[in-house]
Amino acid sequence: MEKITLGKSKLEVPVIAVGCMRINSLSKVDAEKFVQTALDEGANFFDHADIYGSGTCEEIFSEAVHMNDDVREKIIVQSKCGIRKGMFDFSKEHIINSVNLSLKRLKTDYLDVLLLHRPDALVEPEEVAEAFDELESSGKVKYFGVSNQKPMQIELLRKYVKQPIVANQLQLSITNANMISNGINVNMEIDSSIDRDGSILDYCRLNDITIQPWSPFQYGFFEGVFLENEKFPKLNKKIDEIAEKYNVTNTTIVVAWLLRHPAKMQPIVGTMNIDRLKDCCRATDIRLTREEWYEIYRSAGNKLP
Tell me the pLDDT band of 221, cut-offs 50, 70 and 90.
confident
- Say how far residue 96 (Cα) sits from the centre of its chain: 22
The CATH number given to whatever domain includes residue 136 is 3.20.20.100
For residue 151, report the phi and psi dihedrals to the nearest 5 degrees. Answer: -50, -50
Separation between Cα atoms, residue 193 and residue 180, nearest integer Å: 10
Q: pLDDT (tens digit, 9 = 90+) per residue, 164-173?
A: 999 999 999 9
Separation between Cα atoms, residue 164 and residue 249, nearest integer Å: 37
Residue with the bigger pLDDT between 192 and 40: it is 40
> Could you give the number of structural domains in the chain?
1
Q: pLDDT (tens digit, 9 = 90+) per residue, 248-266?
A: 999 999 999 999 999 999 9
Degrees (nearest 5) of the Cα angle 275, 277, 283?
110
Inter-residue contact 121 to 156 (CB < 8 Å): no
Judged by DSSP in three states, 79 sits in strand
H helices of the chain, where? 28-40, 56-64, 69-72, 92-106, 125-137, 151-160, 178-184, 200-206, 233-246, 250-259, 274-282, 290-299
Count CA atoms closer than 13 A to 169's CA, side-chain side.
Answer: 26
pLDDT for residue 189 is more than 90: no
The pLDDT value given to residue 24 = 97
Those residues with Cβ within 8 angstroms of residue 70's Cβ, 6 or more apart along the chain or in another chain: none
The pLDDT value given to residue 202 = 98
- CB-CB neighbours of 61 under 10 Å: 26
**227 domain-assigned:** yes
- CB-CB neighbours of 62 under 10 Å: 21
Inter-residue contact 254 to 239 (CB < 8 Å): yes
Distances, alpha carbon 22 to alpha carbons 27, 79, 186, 270, in Å: 11, 14, 38, 7
Q: pLDDT (tens digit, 9 = 90+) per residue, 52-80?
A: 999 999 999 999 999 999 999 999 999 99
Tell me the pLDDT band of 187, cut-offs 50, 70 and 90.
confident
Share of the chain above pLDDT 90, in %: 96
For residue 69, report the phi and psi dihedrals to the nearest 5 degrees. Answer: -60, -40
Distances, alpha carbon 285 to alpha carbons 120, 161, 169, 174, 238, in Å: 38, 37, 23, 19, 20
Judged by DSSP in three states, 159 sits in helix
- Say how far residue 134 (Cα) sits from the centre of its chain: 25
The pLDDT value given to residue 121 = 98
**174 domain-assigned:** yes
pLDDT for residue 234 is more than 90: yes
- CB-CB neighbours of 48 under 10 Å: 27
**209 domain-assigned:** yes
- Say how far residue 167 (Cα) sits from the centre of its chain: 9
**236 domain-assigned:** yes
Does 52 qualify as catalytic in the annotation? yes
Give the mean pLDDT of the chain: 97
Judged by DSSP in three states, 55 sits in helix
**304 domain-assigned:** no
**35 domain-assigned:** yes
Q: Which domain holds residue 261?
A: 3-299
Q: pLDDT (tens digit, 9 = 90+) per residue, 276-299?
A: 999 999 999 999 999 999 999 999
- Say how far residue 208 (Cα) sits from the centre of its chain: 16
Catalytic residue among 52, 143, 219, 297: 52
Can you count the helices (H) and strands (E) in the chain? 12, 14
**189 domain-assigned:** yes
**305 domain-assigned:** no
